[in-house]
Structure 1
Amino acid sequence: MYVLKRYTALMLTWVALQGVAHAAPYTDVLDLPAAPSALATVSALRDVTRAGDRLVAVGPRGHILFSDDNGGHWQQAQVPASADLNAVSFPSADKGWAVGNDGIILHSTDGGASWQKQLDGRVLGEQVLAYYQAQSKALPSDERWPTLIAESERLVQEGADKPLLDVWFADDQNGFAVGVFNLLLHTTDGGQHWTPWLERSDNPQALHLTSLASIDGVLYITGEQGLLLQLADDGQHFTQLTTPSRGTFFGVIGKPGVLLAYGLRGHLWRSTDKGQQWQPVTTDLGTSITAGGLDRNGQLWLLSQAGDVLHSRDDGASFVTVKQAARTPVSAATFDTASGLVLVGERGVRTLAAE
Structure 2
Amino acid sequence: MVVGSYQGLMRSVLCICLSVVLFMPGLGLSAEPSVLATLQKTSTPMTLMAIQFKDAKAGWAVGSGGALFSTADGGKKWKKQTSGTSALLTGIYFIDQKTGWVTGAAGTLRQSVNGGESWTGHPLETQQPLYGVHFPSATDGWVVGGGGTILHTADGGAHWVEQASGTSAALYAVQFLDAQRGTAVGALGTVLATRDGGRTWVPQVSQGAVTLFDVFFTDESTGWAVGNAGALFQTNDGGAKWVDRTLPCGKTCTKVIDLLKVRFTSPQEGWIIGERGMMYRTTDAGYSWSDGTPIAPVSLFGLTFSDATHGWASGENGTVVHLQAGK
**Comparing 238-247 and 68-77, the one that deviates more:** 238-247
- The structure carrying a bigger strand percent of its residues is 2
Q: How far has the Cα of 1:296 moved from its partner? A: 5.5
Task: Specify the alignment match of 2:172 in structure 1.
Answer: 210
Shift of 1:337: 5.2
Which residue of structure 1 lines up, in the alignment, with residue 10 of structure 2?
A: none
Instruction: Report whether the alignment pairs 1:50 with 2:14.
Output: no
1:165 matches 2:131: yes
Q: Give the match's secondary structure for 2:300.
A: coil
Alignment partners' CA distance in 2, 1:240 and 1:297: 25
Residue pair 2:278, 2:295 contacting (<8 A) in 1 also: no
Q: Distance in 1 between matches of 2:204 and 2:216?
A: 16
Partner of 2:290: 320
Structure 2 Cα separation of the partners of residues 292 and 234 of structure 1:
23
Alignment correspondent of 1:276: 240
For CA contacts below 8 A with separation 6 or more, give which structure has more relative contact order: 2
Q: Secondary structure at the match of 1:347?
A: helix
Evaluate the alpha carbon distance shift between residue 195 and residue 327 of structure 1 in structure 2; reply closer, same or farther with a 3 A threshold.
same
Task: Please list, as runs of the form range in 1=range in 2, the aligned pairs for 1:92-111 lying within 5 A after superposition.
Answer: 92-111=96-115
CA distance in 2, matches of 1:244, 1:187: 29
The Cα shift of 1:84 comes to 1.4
321-330 or 275-284, which deviates more: 321-330
Contact preservation (8 Å) 1:292, 1:332:
no
CA distance in 2, matches of 1:91, 1:243: 31
Instruction: Quote how far apart the aligned CAs of 1:162 are.
Output: 2.3
Aligned to 1:72: 76
Contact (CA 8 Å) 1:215, 1:253: kept in 2 or not? Answer: no
1:232 aligns with 2:195: yes
Q: Distance in 2 between matches of 1:59 and 1:48?
A: 9
State the SS of the aligned residue for 1:331. strand
**Post-superposition offset of 1:340:** 2.6
Q: For structure 2, list consecutive stretches of 5 or more residues without a partner in the other structure.
A: 1-40, 248-252
Do the aligned partners of residues 39 and 259 (structure 1) sit closer, same or farther apart at CA in structure 2, a change above 3 Å counting? closer
Q: Give the aligned partner of residue 157 of structure 1.
A: none
Distance 2:308 2:239 in 1: 32
- Give the secondary-structure state (helix, strand or coil) at the position aligned to 2:147: helix
**1:258/1:274 contact within 8 Å kept:** yes
State whether residues 255 and 298 of structure 1, in contact with CA within 8 Å, keep that contact through their aligned partners in structure 2.
Answer: no
Matched-pair contact (CA < 8 Å) for 1:54–1:111: no
Counterpart in the other structure of 2:19: none
CA distance in 1: counterparts of 2:311 and 2:241, whole angstroms: 30
Match of 2:229 among 265, 268, 271: 265
Contact 1:249 1:261 in 2 (8 A): yes
- Equivalent residue, structure 1, for 2:89: 85
> What pairs up with 1:1-355 in 2 under 5 angstroms?
40-52=43-55, 53-119=57-123, 124-125=125-126, 161-197=127-163, 200-203=164-167, 206-215=168-177, 218-233=181-196, 235-256=198-219, 257-283=221-247, 284-285=253-254, 286-295=256-265, 298-321=268-291, 323-324=293-294, 326-336=296-306, 339-348=309-318, 349-355=320-326
Distance in structure 2 (CA, Å) of the matches to 1:93 and 1:180: 29
Q: Residues 79 and 282 from structure 1, CA distance in 2 versus in 1: closer, same or farther, beyond 3 angstroms?
A: closer
Q: Distance in 2 between matches of 1:235 and 1:62?
A: 29
Q: What letter corresponds to residue 207 of structure 1 in structure 2?
A: A
Letter in 2 for 1:201: S
Cα deviation code 1:265-305 (max 9, x no counterpart)? 00111111112223221331111100111225851111112
**Percent of matched pairs sharing the same residue:** 26
State the SS of the aligned residue for 1:92.
Answer: coil
Aligned equivalent of 2:25: none
Q: What is the TM-score of this pair, normalised by structure 1?
A: 0.72
Counterpart CA distance in 2 for 1:272 and 1:297 is 12
Which amino acid in the other structure matches residue 272 of structure 2? L
TM-superposed CA distance for 1:251, in Å, is: 0.9
How many residue pairs match? The answer is 276
1:56·1:64 contact (CA, 8 Å) conserved in 2?
Answer: yes
Unaligned runs of 5+ in 1: 1-37, 126-160
Distance 1:98 1:326, change over 3 A: closer
Q: Measure how far apart 1:236 and its partner are.
A: 1.6
Aligned amino acid, residue 323 of structure 2: L
Give the C-alpha shift of residue 342 in structure 1.
0.8
**For residues 291 and 175 of structure 2, what CA distance do their matches in structure 1 show?**
24
Q: Normalising by the residue count of structure 2, what TM-score does the alignment of the two structures yield?
A: 0.77
In structure 2, do the counterparts of structure 1 residues 354 and 297 end up closer, same or farther at CA, with 3 Å as the change threshold? farther
